[in-house]
Amino acid sequence: MEPESHPQPSVQPSPPVVVGWVLAGGLSDAQRRSVSLARKLVRDELRRALPDFDWRLPSIRRRDVVPGARAEPVDLLDVGAAERDLGGWDFALVVTAADLRARFRPFALGTPSQALGVAVLSVARLDPVLRDALPDPERLADRIATLALHELGHLNGLGHRDAPEDLMHDIRASSDLDGMRRYSPAEVEELSEEIADVADPRMEERADAHRISNVVFTVRSLWRERADVIDAVRQIRPWRFPFQFAKLTTAAVSTLVVLVMTAEAWDLGARQPAWLVAALSLAILFVASVYLVRRQRLLVHRRSRRRSEQRVVSEASVLLAVAIGMATTYALMFVGTLGLAALLFDRAILEGWAATLGETIALHHVVVFAGFVASIGLAVGALGASFEEQTYFRHVALVDEET
C-alpha cells in the first residue's frame, strides 16, 4: 500500500520593491565603494525589518551629470525621476558628492520628494576625505545607509521622531546619523502597509492596460492611488506658498490695496452677479495653477513617454499642490478685503454708493466685491510668481524637507 501523499502548499513569491540608486558623477573611487557597501547595508536592514518583500537595489552611474561643488537639489531630483520612470523603479535615490544648496537651513544632507518618489543624498558632509571626524570608509557607508533609510521613510510618509536611536529622528548634524539604528514597531507597521500598496501591480502592468484610453487610465490611477496623492500634497505643504513666494504675495496684496481704495472698482465689483464672480474665481484659479506649473517647469521632462501610474500620481500631486497654494492665496485676499472693508468704510460711505447701485448696500455686495478683488489679485499674483527664481520655486514646490 502506497503512503498517502499530501499536496505541498504553494509558496507565494514576495512582491518585488525596487529602490534604484543613481550615482551622479564626481564621486571618487573610495566614495563609490562606500556607496556600494551602503546599498548592501540598506538591503539587509530592509530585509530584516520588512521581510515580506523582495528588495532589489539596482545601481547606475550618470557620468554626464556634473553638478559641481554645489548642486541644486531639484536638478538632481529631475535626474532621479527620469531614471525612476525609465527603469520602472518604485523609488530612486540620487547620490552626489556635491554639497546641496539649502534654502531654509544652513546645510542639507538630503532632500526627499514624495511627489516624485525620489530623494537626493549628499556625501559632501559625510566624506572622511573632507571631514576628519570619520575614521574609515565603513563608517561613511554606515552614515550613507542611515541617511538613505531615513529618506526612504519620508518617501513613504513617515514623519520625524524624538528618539535619537530611531531612523526617523530629526537630523540636525551628520553625527546624529551614528546613533540612528532602527525603525520603531509602529513605523514598521506603517511602512508595511505603504510598501504593500507600492508593490501591487501598477495600472500599466495589468493585462487590459493597453485596451483602455489615456483618460480612463488616468482616472483609474488617481482613484487607486488617491491616498498617495494626498500624502504627497501634505508633504509639500502648499498652504505656505503665500508666505514663501514674496513676488506672488507682493503682486497680489498690491492689487488688493489699489482695488479696495478705488471707488470705480467698488462700483464694478459690487454690481457683478454672485454666480459670475464665483465662476471667474474658479476659472482664474485653474488658469493660474496651470500657468505656474508650466512656467516654472514643475512637471519633470522624461526621456520615456510611456504612460505609467507613477507619472500620473506625481503630476497630479504637483498640480493639486499648486492649486491649493493658489486657493490659499485667494482665501487670504478674500478675508483681507472683507477686513479692510469693515475697518475703513463706514456706513456713510456705503450709503453714498447706494445711489450709484440703485439699491441699498448690503453684506452680499461686500462679499461679492471681496470675491472680485481676490480673483483679480490672484491673476496678478500668478504673474508675479512667474518671475520667482525657477530653481527656488521648484525647490519649494517639490522638496519636502531639507534633512
The backbone torsions φ and ψ at residue 69, rounded to the nearest 5 degrees and listed phi first, read -75, -25
Digitized pLDDT (tens) for each residue of the chain, 403 residues in all: 444 545 554 456 778 889 999 998 778 888 889 999 999 999 999 999 989 899 999 998 888 876 666 788 889 998 998 888 888 898 999 999 888 988 888 888 999 998 888 999 999 888 655 554 555 678 889 999 999 999 999 998 888 888 889 999 998 888 888 888 899 999 989 988 888 887 666 655 565 556 677 777 777 777 777 788 888 888 888 999 989 888 888 888 898 888 888 777 777 887 888 899 999 999 999 999 999 888 888 876 555 556 677 777 888 888 899 999 999 999 999 999 888 888 876 666 665 655 555 556 667 778 888 899 999 999 998 888 888 888 888 888 888 888 8
Q: Which three cell numbers stand for residue 266?
A: 467698488
Please tell me whether residue 23 adopts helix, strand or coil conformation.
strand
The backbone torsions φ and ψ at residue 170, rounded to the nearest 5 degrees and listed phi first, read -70, 110
All structural domains of the chain, each given as residue ranges with its CATH number in brackets, are 16-196 (3.40.390.10), 217-398 (no CATH)
In whole angstroms, give the CA distance from residue 182 to residue 166: 5
DSSP codes joined into one string, 166-180? BTTB--SSGGGGGG-
DSSP codes joined into one string, 242-283? HHH-HHHHHHHHHHHHHHHT-HHHHHHHHHS-HHHHHHHHHH
* Distance set, CA 101 to CA 61, 121, 239, 317, 403 (Å): 22, 12, 23, 24, 12
Where are the strands (E) in 97-201, listed by range? 99-100, 110-113, 118-122
- Eight-class DSSP state of 113: E
In whole angstroms, give the CA distance from residue 232 to residue 248: 23
In whole angstroms, give the CA distance from residue 126 to residue 209: 45
Q: Provide the whole-model pTM.
A: 0.83
The predicted pLDDT at position 25 comes to 76
The predicted pLDDT at position 335 comes to 92
Q: Which three cell numbers stand for residue 29?
A: 573611487
- Eight-class DSSP state of 108: B
User: Is-contact 223 312, C-beta < 8 A?
Assistant: no
| Residues with Cβ within 8 Å of residue 174, at least 6 apart in sequence | 109, 125, 126, 131, 133, 143
The predicted pLDDT at position 68 comes to 67
